[in-house]
A and B are shown apart, each in its own frame.
Chain A
Amino acid sequence: MAALTFIHQNLLHSTPKLTTSKPNLKPKRTKTKLSIQTIRESPQASFTDQFVLQLADSLEDSLPSSSSSLPLQKLRDNSSETLLSTQWPSRKDESFRFTDTSFIKNSDINPISHPPNSLDLLEVSRDTQFESFNFVDGFLVDSSFSSSNLPDGVYVGSLSKLSSEGILKRVCELLGDFEWGDLFWSVNGLGAPDLMVVYVPEGCRVENPIYLKYIAVEGADKGSKKMPLSNPRVFVLVEKGGEVGIVEEFVGKVGSECYWTNSVLEVVVGEGGKVSHSYVQKQSLSAAHIKWTSVRQEKTSAYELVEVSTGGKLSRHNVHVQQLGSDTVTELTTFHLSVGDQTQDLHSRIVLDHPRGYSQQLHKCIVAHSSGQAVFDGNVKVNSHANEYGDQEVKFMQKKKPKKLIYFCWLLPLATRYAQQTDAGQLTRSLLLEPRATVNVKPNLQIIADDVKCSHGAAISDLEDSQLFYFQARGIDLETAREALVFSFGAEVIDKLPYSFVQKQVKDHVKALLKSRRKGSS
């Protein structure tokens, strides 16, 4: 795959001297990585990764002993099986080429086996400004939120409390049916203590958004090797013509620094249905945050994601959207911010398999720290089973001419049979504010069709001098101007969040982060 790497000055951070291993083979190994010894054998040594095996064991031990409902048991069995043949990802794996997960691997991972005590819960619910469903350390907490506010037939809650046989059957059919998952998907499948179900029946439009708040309470101090792991999992099923808004917010309790949240959201949108998904990730800057969002869309349905991720030492969002029918609309709008020594990673894949599919993707990221990093791998695959012929319109679009750009992308018009009248656009823009800040961008379109309209572009830049000067010429000092411009870069995405209360708190949060950076640097 074509990849784009951009670094302000120099790609290689201090490369430690490699004494025994061949430097050519392991050019990006860092000191921390070399210091791993103990039980782990080289991944190549056996089919089962000992480290993964150990992790799987500890996950199983952490599960509640009471018997679980059928869908969950099925999920665990499948995940357990997959885990045995999965290795911990290394930088040699294409999808982890730029994302170093050794930070997690080198920690003392400890799956959280029980929800925190009630005192902590009280504190958590006090923090919550809006009526929300709370996950604490991966456990769904009975909240004061009354489901009676929801329309008839809608179910929001734990799978274990689901009484409707009909819904249970549907969940059982669809849950975890996904071939694209990686190790982290399986870790969640095995380790999720519960499953939250959001069910919207046919033709039902849910007025108010379902607000899911994930709080990490248990956490070690910064710099500690300990890493409590939680595996929250949510399944959203919107039947034909249903509509719902989902807001996911991830936060860490104040004082909890080091933890790992490994979350999965599955969404199934029935014919003509619509899901508007807001995802806000504000974890501690020392945490690990891995998230999967898997979406399946029936024909004429719509799925819109707006993401703002600012937290985590390592944060990775895997989005997979599969269009299962014609005239389907997918929109992904995402913004990542690294103000610290952080890696923000978005791996997205949109598969347009049917005629007149539409997808728009905008990804923006800011790296505002010299050892910060952003990774974007955006794959759009167009290969459907329509058999009309038409003119091919494939164009490259670049909204703005970047100042410095190493820019390479792939477009593959492979055959002339599929995915007719598809309209897919993808644009990524990155802002690097510090020397040595890094972004690895890999926008890619794979097209196996002729009558399609696809565009993509990537731009990497610093702030525009002409814009900065415009502020100055009106009496605004450079620092304030920079701050306003940096904020406005992200605001384009934040403004797309469909709920104003979410928008406001995200704006405040991003402003505070940018301000803290300014204070830190001065």
Chain B
Amino acid sequence: MAWQIQCTASPPPLPSFPPFTLKSTSSISLPLPLPLTRSSRFRSTHAPSPRPIAASFSAVESTTSTDGLGNSKTPLLEVKGLTAVIAETKQEILKGVDLVVHHGEIHAIMGKNGSGKSTFSKVLVGHPDYEVTGGDVVFKGENLLDMEPEERSLAGLFMSFQSPVEIPGVNNIDFLHMAYNARRKKLGEPELGPLEFYAYIYPKLDLVNMKTDFLNRNVNEGFSGGERKRNEILQLAVLGADLAILDEIDSGLDVDALQDVAKAVNGLLTPTNSVLMITHYRRLLEVIKPTFIHIMENGRIIKTGDSSLAEVLEEKGYTAISAA
């Protein structure tokens, strides 16, 4: 991916000191085996992913490659040239988004208001307000765009809503129970009864620092901003996900609530699952450390870098980046 992004955003770097050679079997189609490495600009403050960046390289040409450890692997999510319009007005919002996310990586997408960040996350989960007009999205080897929203969720894609809707009359625990059982059914496991489910969910409440009465309230009804975000994370904790898209999980949170939410998210991370964060602010990136930061502008990802990109942003703003 590094390669790909650099193609679009900056001149391709000439790989100078390859510490290892790409062992990809799929790279035959390329004119020469391009040995890739993390350039110094990609030094991450976060513990780097054990898999070499070479894996991302396959984004352009193929979906399978072999990592440095010799394991065959597929990117978790691969987005190519995704374009989308608002269903009602046909106004184009996404104008060719490319993104590859591998297992265990944390990505952050930043950008100005209206750059298409939230639209991108909604399009990924199949929000009916948007229509995909072109491009491909492959999630775990399957065409995501062919799937219904619920199938995407069951396949392991989770999006925390920026402003989750209130559902009066539906109990929070019933809602979670329903969703959890849908997941179990999909996996061919027996559904849980109310008591078993309660036993399952009870320990998860601590994770988001919520009291039990939280479960007996109606979904998001009368919830404060912070409660809504915690509820989203609770759902993530209950349902699990291979890729969690956190759409402005930090908006409207005070410092303490942000810490709670970030702690919960970090607690859910495993070496295999991935996170895609949409945010305006650097402060979230300080508590959930991203592997990559993408800058989105006018419906495209115009730049990708490591977490140092956030510092550049902080100092010089988006203009500096789009100009670069």
Nearest neighbor of A492 in chain B, beta-carbon distance: B169
Residues of A within 8 A of B164 (CB): 470
Residues of A within 8 A of B154 (CB): 475
B313 within 8 A of A: no
Q: A464-B165, A472-B148 are in contact. Are A485 and B170 (CB under 8 A)?
A: yes
Q: Is the CB of A473 within 8 A of B161?
A: yes
- Complex contacts, B128 vs chain A, CB 8 Å: 465, 469
- Tell me how far the C-beta of A227 lies from the nearest C-beta in chain B, rounded to whole angstroms: 37
**B178 neighbours in A (Cβ, 8 Å):** 471, 476, 480, 484
Is A221 engaged at the interface, CB distance under 8 Å to the other chain? no
Query: A18 contacts the other chain (Cβ, under 8 Å)?
Result: no
Minimum Cβ distance to chain A for residue B244 (Å) = 12
Cβ contacts under 8 Å, B149 to chain A: 469, 472-473
Within 8 Å CB of B167, what residues of A?
467, 470, 485, 488
The yes or no answer to A512 lying at the interface (CB within 8 A) is no
Asked whether any CB of chain A lies closer than 8 Å to the CB of B179, the reply is: yes
Return the chain A residue nearest B178 by Cβ: A476
Q: Which residues of B contact A472 (CB under 8 A)?
A: 126, 148-150, 153
Determine the chain A residues whose CB is within 8 A of the CB of B168 once the complex forms: 488, 492
Asked whether A476 lies within 8 Å of B165 as measured between CB atoms, the reply is no
Q: How many residues of A contact B (CB 8 A)?
A: 22
Q: How far is the CA of A484 from the CA of B176 in the complex (A)?
A: 12
Inter-chain CA distance A224–B36, complex, in Å, is 84
Whole-angstrom distance from the CB of A191 to the nearest CB of chain B?
A: 40
- CB neighbours (8 Å) of A476 from chain B are 150, 178-179, 182
Contact B150 A488, beta carbon cutoff 8 Å: no
Q: A491-B169, A492-B168 are in contact. Are A475 and B161 (CB under 8 A)?
A: no
Given the known interface contacts A475-B153, A476-B179, A477-B182, the answer about A470 and B161 at a Cβ–Cβ threshold of 8 Å is: yes
Residues from chain B with Cβ under 8 Å of A492 in the complex:
168-169
A491 to chain B, nearest CB (A): 5
A118 in the interface, Cβ–Cβ < 8 Å?
A: no
Q: A474 at the A/B interface (Cβ < 8 Å)?
A: yes
Contact B153 A489 (CB under 8 A): no
A-B contact count (CB 8 A): 71
Nearest-neighbor residue (CB-CB) of A399 within chain B: B168
B100 sits at the interface (CB 8 A): no
The contact string, 1 if C-beta is below 8 Å from chain B, for chain A 448-475, is: 0000000000000000111101111111
Min distance, Cβ A252 to any Cβ of chain B, angstroms? 29
Which residues does chain B contribute within 8 Å of A489, judged by CB atoms? 169
Q: Contact at A473–B153, with CB atoms within 8 Å?
A: yes
Report the Cα distance A467→B164, complex, angstroms: 9
Q: How far is the CA of A196 from the CA of B243 in the complex (A)?
A: 65
Q: Does B233 contact A (CB under 8 A)?
A: no
Q: Which residues of B contact A487 (CB under 8 A)?
A: 169
Q: How long is the Cα–Cα vector from A475 to B177 in the complex, in angstroms? A: 11
A473 touches B170 (CB 8 A): no
- Judged by a CB distance under 8 angstroms, whether B229 is at the interface is no
Is A478's beta carbon under 8 Å from chain B? Answer: yes
Q: Does B235 contact A (CB under 8 A)?
A: yes
CB proximity of A358 to chain B, nearest CB, Å:
24
Q: Which residues of chain B are within 8 angstroms of A491 by Cβ–Cβ distance?
A: 169
Closest CB in chain A relative to B160 CB, distance in Å: 10
- What is the minimal beta-carbon distance from A397 to any residue of chain B, in angstroms? 16
Q: Would you call B125 an interface residue if the criterion is a C-beta within 8 Å of the partner chain's C-beta atoms?
A: yes
Contact A478 B150 (CB under 8 A): yes
State whether the Cβ of B127 lies closer than 8 Å to any Cβ in chain A: yes
Find chain A residues with CB under 8 A from B175 CB.
Answer: 471, 474, 484
Closest chain-B Cβ to A492's Cβ sits at a distance in Å of: 5
With an 8 A cutoff between CB atoms, is B239 at the interface?
Answer: yes
How far is it, in angstroms, between the C-alpha of A487 and the C-alpha of B218 when the chains are bound? 13
Contact string, A490-501, partner B, CB cutoff 8 A, digits 1/0?
A: 011000000000
For the complex, what is the distance from the CA of A466 to the CA of B219, rounded to whole Å? Answer: 13
Does B186 touch A at the CB level, under 8 Å? yes
A480 CA to B169 CA in the complex, in Å? 15
Query: Assuming the A-B contacts A480-B178, A484-B170, are A473 and B165 also in contact, with contact meaning beta carbons closer than 8 angstroms in the complex?
Result: no
- C-alpha spacing A474/B174, complex, angstroms: 13
Complex-state Cα separation, A480 to B178, whole angstroms: 9
Q: Do A473 and B182 have beta carbons less than 8 Å apart?
A: no
Contact across chains for A475 and B165 when beta carbons are under 8 A apart: no
| B117 is an interface residue with CB less than 8 A from chain A | no
Q: What does the 1/0 interface line of B122-160 toward A look like (CB < 8 Å)?
A: 000111100000000000000000001110011000010
Which residues B208-257 have CB closer than 8 A to chain A? Answer: 219, 235, 239
On chain B, the residues within 8 Å of A474 by CB distance are 150, 153, 175, 179, 182, 235, 239
User: Known contacts A470-B165, A474-B153; can you find 17 more A-B pairs with CB under 8 A?
Assistant: A467-B167, A470-B161, A470-B164, A471-B179, A473-B126, A473-B150, A473-B159, A474-B150, A474-B179, A474-B235, A475-B150, A475-B153, A476-B178, A476-B179, A485-B169, A488-B167, A488-B168
Task: Identify 5 residue pairs between A and B in the complex whose beta-carbon atoms are under 8 Å apart, listed by A's number.
Answer: A466-B165, A471-B179, A473-B150, A473-B161, A487-B169
A-B CB proximity, top 4 nearest? A488-B169, A475-B153, A472-B149, A474-B179
Which residues on B are within 8 Å of A, measured CB to CB? 125-128, 148-150, 153-154, 159, 161, 164-165, 167-170, 174-175, 178-179, 182-183, 186, 219, 235, 239
